[in-house]
Amino acid sequence: MALKRAVFITVLIILILDQFSKIWIKTHFVIGQEFQVFDWFIIHFTENNGMAFGLEFGGEWGKIMLTLFRILVTTWLVFFIKGLIRQKAHKITTIAFSLVLAGAIGNIIDSVFYGVFFNESINQLASFLPNEGGYAPLFQGRVVDMFYFPLFKGFVPDWIPFMGGDYFIFFRPVFNIADAAITTGVLTLFIFHKKAFPTN
């Protein structure tokens, strides 16, 4: 029961933080607007049609298929986590998968509903449930991203093959709390794989 409660609280907290941050950004920033917190930490509002960290996948039908695939994987994760709880799996394993689940649900909400719930954010602040309707049909919403960490900037040394002399930024992708939860869950499973997936 304690593990079940921990899973529920983990998913709930991630979803609340994720959706609150996205709705706040969506209703207070226009696309491309940014606010510099530190030199290496910028709040930058952007939206993407695809996967985590702005990756794209196959246009309109590709987006629908990606969203449906996310829903199927998320449904599978719910049953998988229930199985882990019944088997009294290690807490690290269960919480790590819970982070992945929460992140997946967070981005599914954007993809499925945001196009209906909000109008465009281009050159205007979006409003919730506008009279003129949303910017896209159901399942055609865009995922809201806002965290940008350009930790290092500079030019690649000339002696490095293929990339020598190119300007680079690390870390370039803009992401959200849902993306961070998924990444944290996967990294946790990788780092603690011996505890997460014991062989005996």
**pLDDT tens digits, 11-63:** 999 999 999 999 999 999 999 999 999 888 999 999 987 655 445 555 667 67
d(CA 44, CA 23): 14
Which tens digits make up the pLDDT trace of 149-165? Answer: 987 776 777 777 777 67
Q: Which pTM does this prediction carry?
A: 0.85
d(CA 173, CA 143): 14
Q: Annotated catalytic, 158? A: no
Quote the pLDDT of residue 8. 95
The catalytically annotated residue of 18, 110, 145, 158 is 145
d(CA 179, CA 3): 23
The catalytically annotated residue of 18, 110, 166, 179 is 179
- Averaged pLDDT for residues 122-144: 92
DSSP state of 198: -
Which tens digits make up the pLDDT trace of 84-130? Answer: 999 988 899 999 999 999 999 999 999 999 999 999 999 999 999 99
